[in-house]
Every structure is written in structure tokens, then in C-alpha cells.
Structure 1
């Protein structure tokens, strides 16, 4: 079984998991693993660390399956739980409190998985340009754009994941889109490094 789960399917599997069906939890893990892994790797680039954190959240879920509440959006819930788990594990690892990822964390943007679906060389070239432009943004801006346009989260959900107020999310998105436009024009016109002109 593969592919994205609809919100309704995910909620059905969540209900079955809460009722004691371990196969339902296994299905949720299998179907959401790629999104969770990609999200985790964008936040912290140690593969084994991210894999361990994902496994731990599903083990923890099974331990509390009788008492855990229903959730409105399973994918969103899992993204938030993974980020919290990673922060907690990094706190232990570095022996200091992480209330959020530091401002200098690396949030990477790569379109390599998408390139397999693209046959036209021109489209690959355009995607590479977009990747170059995206990587000009700050990690917080890249995280916001990823959550909004790749994970399709609402502004309220993004605010919770990023630990920001809703207005801050709006402001950061506007700033991010403005930066994207400026950088895109610079790349298209071959003015990379000449940002003062634009």
C-alpha cells in the first residue's frame, strides 16, 4: 500500500489505531513516513537521528493508544510531534534546552525527487533555478514555504509548528514571497549577486 492518505482515510486509521488495531498504526506510519522523513531531514540533516525520532513517536503512540485523543488532521499532528521529539532529543544530546531550532539551522530545499518525473531538460533547468532561488531565503522562510505549499498546512497549523503568532506567519510569508520574486528576477536576468540593482 502506498500513496497519500486523504484526511478522511487518515482519521479512519487513527480511530482504528485508538481502538487497538496495531495494523492501522502501521499503515499510518507507512503512508506518512516519507513526509515525516523529508520534514525531519529539512530540520536536522542526520538521517539516523531523524529515523530514530520517527520510530520513537510511533512507539510512543502505541503506548498511549488507549488514552490518546482524536485529532482533526493526522499528518499535521505527526509533523508537530516529530518536531517536538527532535527538539527534545537534541536537548538531551547537546545537554541544553532547545525550545525551538536555532535561527542558524539548515532547512534545505531540493527538488531531486521531483526531477525523476520530469523529462524535459528545460523544466529541469527551471527547477534548478528555483532551487537556487529558494536557497537564498532564510531557514525560517524556507520552512514556512515548505509547510504552506508542500505540506498544504493552514496558517494556524503553521503558526503552531513554527511556534509563531498567526500574524507573524502572514508577515513572514509576505516577506518570503517578496524575497522570492526579487531573487527570481535576479536569477532570470543573470544578476545573481547584484541584488542592490533590483
Structure 2
């Protein structure tokens, strides 16, 4: 798998080792982030093979260009941002970009929906949760996913989505308030 030399290092140190040509740093980054990148990529596009290809291209190109790369203190954020750009470019090239918004919305809806529904066994509750998620716009769904499922910080989300930091905080606050209110109105308890 990957070297345990990196488990106690911070991202900035791992990144510098990678840029210096350390193949074990590349392996560590791949094994640590590939699955998360795949999950995130599948929220953007339902074409799983294209997402996988984009991830492989991402690591290949990073290795090729490593000496010219800048510094980072968050490898995960850096990789998410590049992957998002690569998938968007690939969708545009395939002329599938027109349906991107629809698949984007449904991808995020299914992801959040499945995780919530797994905790609910009652068909009525399942229907109420689906209704709630349909009330969220694609931006709200993506921010919720990046915050709670990908574990990104508000500033990282803002940079990734080209938004102001305060706007991300506002969207999160309003969305969480909306979710809580809806769940309380329909007597649905959630572990968070």
C-alpha cells in the first residue's frame, strides 16, 4: 500500500516530498485520496469510467508537472479542485455538459438521500426526506456534501466553488436551519 512514513506528516511536508520526486509520497496521496475523489467525482458526473479516468489523469499530470507546482497545506482540497475542473472540462468535451446540472442535482440528491434514508426504515419518513432534499438547490446540496461528507473547511469550499467565504457560511447556516426545521416539523430525528 503506502509508506507509514507519511501518516504522521502534515500535508505541506508530504507535498514538498512529492514535488521533490518522492514516489512514496505520490503513492501515499493516491491511496489516501483516490476513494474520496471517486465519491466526489460521482456527485458531479454519473459517468463513473470518465471520473476514474479523470482521477488517473490528475495523478499522472501532477507527477509530470510536480517540479512546477506551488505549495499547499491541504492536499485534499488541492486534489478536489483539480478533479472538479478536469471533470467539467471532460463533460464539456463530450457535449454532455448540457445535462450536467440535472445529473449534478440528482447525484447530490441521491448521495445525501441514501445516507439519510439508510437511517430511516419507515416509508413515510423516506418520502418526507426525499421531499426535503428536492427543496434544496444544487448549490446547497454540493456545499452540504463538501462540508459534511468530504470534510472540507468553509474556506476550502469557498475557493473550490469560487464563492466568498461568508457566502458559504451563510448558505450552510440557512441550509442546516432549513433541514432542522423540516425534520422537526415532520418529527424525524437525526443523529446530528
TM above 0.5, yes or no, is yes
Query: 2:81 aligned with 1:80, yes or no?
Result: yes
Give yes or no for contact 1:144–1:158 (8 Å, CA) kept in 2. Answer: yes
**Runs (5+) with no aligned partner, structure 2:** none
How far apart in 2 are the matches of 1:179 and 1:7?
39
RCO greater where, 1 or 2, for CA within 8 Å and sep 6 or more?
2
Change (3 A) 1:7 1:149: farther
**TM-score normalised to structure 2 length:** 0.76
Residue matched to 1:56: 57
Residue matched to 2:133: 135
Q: Deviation at 1:53?
A: 0.7
Q: Deviation at 1:187?
A: 3.6
Q: Deviation at 1:111?
A: 7.6
How far apart in 2 are the matches of 1:43 and 1:182?
28
How far apart in 2 are the matches of 1:85 and 1:52?
10
Residue matched to 1:109: 111
**TM-score normalised to structure 1 length:** 0.74
Aligned residues: 177
| Structure that is richer in helix per residue | 2
SS in 2 for 1:94: coil
SS in 1 for 2:46: coil
Query: 2:126 aligned with 1:124, yes or no?
Result: no
**Runs (5+) with no aligned partner, structure 1:** 116-122, 190-198
Residue matched to 1:118: none
Change (3 A) 1:162 1:133: farther
CA-based RMSD of the aligned residues comes to 3.3
Change (3 A) 1:133 1:152: farther
Give yes or no for contact 1:133–1:180 (8 Å, CA) kept in 2. Answer: no
How far apart in 2 are the matches of 1:174 and 1:150?
16
